[in-house]
Amino acid sequence: MTTDDTPAIAAYGLRKAYGHTTAVEEVSFSVPRGRVLGLLGPNGAGKTTSMRMLLGLASIDGGRAHIHGRPYAELDEPARTVGAVLDAGGLHPGRTARQHLRIAASMAGVDDTGVQPLLDDTGLTAAADRPIRTYSLGMRQRVALATALLGDPNVLVLDEPANGLDPAGTRWLRDLVHAFAARGGAVLLSSHILAEVAHVAHDVVVIDHGRVVGGGRVDELTDEHGGDLESFYLRLTGENAGVI
C-alpha cells in the first residue's frame, strides 16, 4: 500500500553479483517526493548497477528496489512515472533527435505533441533534424534527458546526467532538476562532479566497493567539512581510490 510517507524511490538492502564480483552489497537509500539524492562513489562502486536494479534493467540477487512502494515492473504506467538517463551512448546514430523522440513517445504510449517543446527546452531545435551521429556528447546527453522527460514523470533516475554538458547545459540541468523537485518530483542522480552535486542535491549517499559508506544532508555535510563535499567524500573513499 502506498501512503504519503512511502518514498518515491527506495532501495532496501540491495545486492547484486556478477559471477564472483560483488557489484552491490546491502545498499539502502530512499528519496522522498520533492528531494534530490546524489549517489556518489568511485568508478566501479556500484552506482549504475543500483540504478539498473531500480529500473528493472538488472536482476536483483537480494533486497528490494521500489518506485512509489512497488518494483518497477509492477508500476501501472512506468513511462509516465519514471524518466531515466542511463547511457547517452545508446542512441541510434542514424536517427535524428526528432525521430528518436517520436519513436520513444510511441513506445512509451505518450502523445508526440510534447516532442517539439522538449526539443526547445533542451536547446536541440536547431540540430533536431540532423543524425545523432553528428552530435557532440553533450548534445546526446540532452537527447537522453529529453527522452527521460517525455512521459512527464514524477521520478527521475539520472546516471551522470551532467556528463559532457557545457557550463550553460550544466546550469540548465540544475535548474531543471530543482524545478522538477519543487513540483514534488523525486530525483536520484549519480555524478563525479562533487561541486555540481553540492549545488543540485539535497542529500547524498556515498557507495564504495558496493556498500554504502556514508551520507547525509548536503547542507549539513558541507558545513561540517569546510564548505565543500570533497573532503567528506575523500575521507570516505580516498584510501580506496582507483578502479575496482
Q: Which residues bind to ligand ATP, rule: CB under 6 A? A: 18, 21, 23, 41, 43-49, 244
CB-neighbour burial class of residue 178 (10 A; exposed 0-12, middle 13-18, buried 19+) = middle
**Strand ranges across the sheet with 21-31:** 21-31, 9-18, 62-67
Express the helix, strand and coil content of the chain in percent, nearest 5 each.
40, 25, 35
Q: Least distance from C-beta 160 to ligand ATP, angstroms?
A: 7
Q: Least distance from C-beta 16 to ligand ATP, angstroms?
A: 8
In terms of CB distance, is 47 or 140 closer to ligand ATP? 47
Q: Least distance from C-beta 43 to ligand ATP, angstroms?
A: 3
The residue type found at 38 is G
In terms of CB distance, is 23 or 145 closer to ligand ATP? 23
Q: Single out the residue of 9, 110, 20 nearest to residue 64, CA to CA.
A: 9
Q: Quick check: helix, strand or coil at residue 66? A: strand
In terms of CB distance, is 30 or 48 closer to ligand ATP? 48
What is the DSSP-derived secondary structure letter of residue 96?
B
> Are the C-beta atoms of residues 137 and 164 closer than 8 Å to each other?
yes
Q: Least distance from C-beta 54 to ligand ATP, angstroms?
A: 12
In terms of CB distance, is 80 or 192 closer to ligand ATP? 192
In terms of CB distance, is 38 or 41 closer to ligand ATP? 41
> Are the C-beta atoms of residues 170 and 177 closer than 8 Å to each other?
no
Q: Least distance from C-beta 240 to ligand ATP, angstroms?
A: 12
Cell of 137: 556528447
Q: Least distance from C-beta 215 to ligand ATP, angstroms?
A: 15
In terms of CB distance, is 151 or 161 closer to ligand ATP? 161
